[in-house]
Homo-oligomer: A and B are copies of this chain.
Amino acid sequence: MTHPIPRTRIQEKNRARVLEAALEVFSRAGFRGATLDAIAGEAGLSKPNLLYYFASKEDIHVTLLEGLVDRWLDPLREMRAEGDPQAELLAYVRRKLQMSRDFPRESRLFAQEIVQGAPRIGAGLSTDLKALVDEKAGVIQAWMDAGKIAPSDPHHLIFSIWSLTQHYADFDVQVRAVLGEGRDPIDEAEGFLETLFTRLLTP
């Protein structure tokens, strides 16, 4: 990696511009489908200038994914063992759904990486991710054992929250096509998912 960590303010700002543009293009077209031309155009820079700030196309992609994973798991990290179990889980669902509304491009970027077998972030999945999920699954299991929420498999409960919320970002085109014009999918999902998880979790 010949490109050093940026030090000046202008470098940091231009790197951010590139990453914003790259997020837009990568999330729409995938890694191979995205071209440096498209990213450069979106960023309002020339193609060589792009490669002044990043070593390669792959460097941009990896930088994007690394910055993403942490933020992606924040809603789960915030779940507190000390809080009211059902309220904590429902709040987690709302936070996660909110991310589908606020960061759909990030969700789609991540989805494509996973669907393709996580070729670029595979390692972190079985270590960092697994550790966090196992910990939180333990908290949920304790809640179930105490009779605070109805019993089910904690790991699959977490999977269900991921899939149900991310669906509205990743499959947005399909959801909108089916619902038709003039409906706000995520707005409706909020009520539906509250109903679903309330019925699932109430002892």
Interface residues of A in 36-66 (CB under 8 A from B): none
User: Residue A144 at the B interface, CB < 8 A?
Assistant: no
- Tell whether, in the assembled complex, residue B167 and residue A162 are in contact, meaning their CB atoms are under 8 Å apart: yes
- Tell whether, in the assembled complex, residue B112 and residue A115 are in contact, meaning their CB atoms are under 8 Å apart: yes
> Shortest beta-carbon distance, A116 to chain B, in Å?
6
User: Residue A103 at the B interface, CB < 8 A?
Assistant: no
Partner of A192, one of B115, B117, B156: B156
- State the copy count for this chain: 2
* Contact (A178, B155) CB under 8 Å given A32-B30, A164-B160: yes
Residues of B within 8 A of A99 (CB): none
Interface residues of A in 69-116 (CB under 8 A from B): 108, 111-112, 114-116
Partner of A33, one of B116, B150, B191: B116
Residues of chain A whose beta carbon lies under 8 Å from any beta carbon of chain B: 28-33, 108, 111-112, 114-118, 122, 125-126, 129-130, 133-134, 150, 152-153, 155-157, 159-160, 162-164, 166-167, 170-171, 173-175, 177-180, 188-189, 191-192, 195-196, 199-200
